[in-house]
Structure 1
């Protein structure tokens, strides 16, 4: 595609199960890329869908296939509602990440549901999706994928940190973009907040009320993953195998949340050089206690942008990945994922 103006939707569903992020975006390519987010929402999952997505990691092949089709139809309904409500027309594409069920790059396998050809037919739009599979086939981690967007849209910052279900960060090093998952964040904090009757730890109030359990904190910080070199990435399989079994023996849930919040702050801070600029986005950016904890461990200059970018930066960047795919330009960086080469990933479906 030769034109430089792209009217698209970016769609993202994260592992923290907050909901489906849908953003109407204009991307413009001149000397460099620029963007405008016209409107963006997060559509909460129904309790039934949220439960199925959380349990899907235990499903057999047939159950996963059934959920994939159900989720694709569910996703199509939410996208159509958004398009109709805002009277959006002349879209170049709907660029959708899907929802990750399995992520096992060491087994050459990753699965994001909602990336079926039916999606294009149901919404009657061109769809670009399924960005991770090709990277894993090229011996990459299939994650993180956001760093190409950090480089092209947010390159003015030394570090770009996303605090979502997992913390991942990207930065330039020796003229290459480097990125990796730092640690789980909201997939753990939200899990324990639910035990206290809340969807998440608003502002870090539970963490502030708890007491950090130093022996447990040391056990968390000593996990092998944190001492591995990049490229590396995390999935719920790793969280289930390593994190919960360390935290569950703590009797007080606020103590668990306090200890884990401190763990996250420590893991992030140790990646940062002094006085560098750090752009923080994702739901965790609203956790003021966590942000303050990072500041206590690092002298990096923290920048939290306007709320629409905090909440929808990933939807924005998956829109960019889709446009790069349409332009047949690289949207996966081997320096980030460890794949055999840079490549243009994703599949394109037409109605």
Structure 2
């Protein structure tokens, strides 16, 4: 058998077209991207697609966030349904990008996180990558987080290594802030050093509250929050959560920031108008991020936002205000559009990049971010 070729054998061994698929903690659907990577060149986006999740799949995924009966079967069936939606997204990328399955080196499929307990040595992203490979006839790379956890890391966030590649600058220290279900930041120092970690809840709680009181999956343009007024005593109670005081590396998810957590914090505040609660949840996201930037990157000169929260002008304004009042004054807040990458493309691009790194047998994590024992090749390969 011929020896396996790696990027160390050939400078361009991993070049080619990759798909990246990301369905985050908001669980509304999957963002997909088709991108061509060539060593030494900027990534070239060929196509993008979004495929929503039906209500039944969303309910199944939400129910798996907490222990329950018959979890193994429910998780397996949800993984199959997720693979089917991923496949629809991939076929749309093939069509829109005018490429054939044979031209795609690999699909980087993150899966859906239903449990994240690195302190206990595990993290679970359900999907069925074998079924996805069968449905697309393309190599699938999945299970990116567990190798980092196995080496003592948090397994999250994984995007900072990609952020450093595409957004780093020697002219200024900048922060890339992802506003997904959970917020996380990547600090890109002008020295080339990188750090990143989760800050707390973002859209996870905002969407939960909007669905509860508006019957809608999210607060469009922050209009619900804009009708309310920040309630400082409630914000103080929300911020009185040990996670916010932890030093990085740290990561979190719906295991902590969920409906049960919020309802417990709201005891004694039942008379508050729902819009006031929403406005206070916006402030919670903004303040928790601003505090981390003040603590760990006081020399920050710009904040670039990606993720679904970048489309919420009320949240963006709240973040700018929190930075101003939190001691990092004069720092402009914009989206990653200013750096040439639309906010909704950043995370699927990152998982396409992680797939490329796996094909090249190159590390995908940063030990300074996750706390792992060292750099590791991430992902498990399911051949076409």
Match of 2:353 in 1: 320
Partner SS for 1:340: coil
Match of 1:147 in 2: 160
Match of 2:4 in 1: none
Match of 2:222 in 1: 204
Match of 2:194 in 1: 177
Does the 8 Å CA contact 1:72/1:115 hold for their aligned counterparts?
yes
Partner SS for 2:98: coil
Match of 2:372 in 1: 339
Count how many residue pairs are aligned between Structure 1 and Structure 2. Answer: 349
Does the 8 Å CA contact 1:115/1:130 hold for their aligned counterparts?
no
Q: Aligned partners of 2:94, 2:206: CA distance in 1, in Å?
A: 33
Q: Aligned partners of 2:22, 2:317: CA distance in 1, in Å?
A: 28
Deviating more after overlay: 231-240 vs 248-257: 248-257
Match of 2:65 in 1: 57
Partner SS for 1:192: helix
1:274-332 deviation line (CA, Å, top 9, x unaligned) = 66111111111111111111111223222213396211210001100110111111101
Match of 2:50 in 1: 42
Does the 8 Å CA contact 1:57/1:102 hold for their aligned counterparts?
yes
Match of 1:69 in 2: 80
Q: Aligned partners of 2:264, 2:76: CA distance in 1, in Å?
A: 30
Deviating more after overlay: 333-342 vs 270-279: 270-279
Match of 1:166 in 2: 182
Deviating more after overlay: 64-73 vs 212-221: 64-73
Partner SS for 1:121: helix
Q: Aligned partners of 1:308, 1:43: CA distance in 2, in Å?
A: 20
Match of 1:263 in 2: 284
Match of 2:142 in 1: 129
Match of 2:120 in 1: 107
Runs of 4+ in 1 over 6 A off after TM superposition: none
2:17 aligned with 1:7: yes
Partner SS for 1:198: coil
Partner SS for 1:236: coil
Give how far 1:177 is off.
1.7
1:105-148 deviation line (CA, Å, top 9, x unaligned) = 11111111124322212210011111011111111111000000
Q: Aligned partners of 2:28, 2:331: CA distance in 1, in Å?
A: 28
Give how far 1:337 is off.
0.8
Q: Aligned partners of 1:122, 1:238: CA distance in 2, in Å?
A: 35
Deviating more after overlay: 202-211 vs 180-189: 202-211
Partner SS for 2:336: coil
Q: Aligned partners of 1:61, 1:92: CA distance in 2, in Å?
A: 31
Partner SS for 1:57: coil
Q: Which runs of 5+ in 1 are unaligned?
A: none
Does the 8 Å CA contact 1:22/1:42 hold for their aligned counterparts?
yes
Q: Aligned partners of 1:38, 1:263: CA distance in 2, in Å?
A: 37
Instruction: Kindly name which structure, 1 or 2, has the bigger radius of gyration based on alpha carbons.
Output: 2
Q: Which runs of 5+ in 2 are unaligned?
A: 1-6, 324-329
**Alignment counterpart, residue 25 of structure 1, candidates 14, 35, 38:** 35
Partner SS for 1:168: strand
Does the 8 Å CA contact 2:57/2:81 hold for their aligned counterparts?
no
Does the 8 Å CA contact 1:97/1:130 hold for their aligned counterparts?
yes
Q: Aligned partners of 2:359, 2:277: CA distance in 1, in Å?
A: 45
Deviating more after overlay: 250-259 vs 61-70: 61-70
Does the 8 Å CA contact 1:115/1:129 hold for their aligned counterparts?
no
